[in-house]
Structure 1
């Protein structure tokens, strides 16, 4: 069981929402993550979602599916979608699957890191 999984929502202004994910994204939590992303995209005034994976230690195939489902839901609502701060194993998984460019994956500094 993935007890350390959590998502924190941060309003960054101008319709941008950052979802900071922590823990492991596996088949036990993937549906929850996809639902959280879809819910955030459906909120009035949201124009962009940023999925921050800085504190994600593991990304399983189900996690990749959740990120893809979240992207589809976000685009359906007319929002942009970006994945940031994928590091280590998580970055490697996204690179190997060819998803870095699809998710516009970057390393970016948040206000807390400035």
Structure 2
């Protein structure tokens, strides 16, 4: 791994959590990323989890798995889930894998019954 991996969590209000990822997402860090996303999704009051890949230069297959596990955790907790700002190689990897639209996951809440 050449890029220093880090994740910064930003509470943007109204239940929106943005996880800004920096560095390469490969075998060495994928489990940690999946756990961080899952922890964010499990927090009370969260309605949307956004994973921001703007500062990620490389995404390995293990990184795709981490993003998919994060999506599963978000859906398990009835949270909307988005992966945003994928650029260059990372965007190409997600496009080739057919995941760009999947990562704009929106949870539609059923109207309250009266």
Output the TM-score relative to the length of structure 2: 0.89
The CA distance in 1 between the partners of 2:70 and 2:17, in whole Å, is 13
* Aligned residue pair count: 105
Q: Structure 2: state its 5+ residue gaps.
A: 106-114
- Residues 15-34 of structure 1 mapped to structure 2, 5 A cutoff: 15-34=15-34
Which has more helix, going by share of residues?
A: 1
The CA distance in 2 between the partners of 1:69 and 1:43, in whole Å, is 16
The CA distance in 1 between the partners of 2:40 and 2:59, in whole Å, is 21
The CA distance in 2 between the partners of 1:44 and 1:76, in whole Å, is 13
The CA distance in 1 between the partners of 2:46 and 2:96, in whole Å, is 31
Output the TM-score relative to the length of structure 1: 0.89
The CA distance in 2 between the partners of 1:82 and 1:104, in whole Å, is 5
Match of 1:60 in 2: 60
Which has more strand, going by share of residues?
A: 1
The CA distance in 2 between the partners of 1:17 and 1:26, in whole Å, is 23
4+ aligned runs moved over 6 Å, structure 1: none
- Greater C-alpha Rg: 2
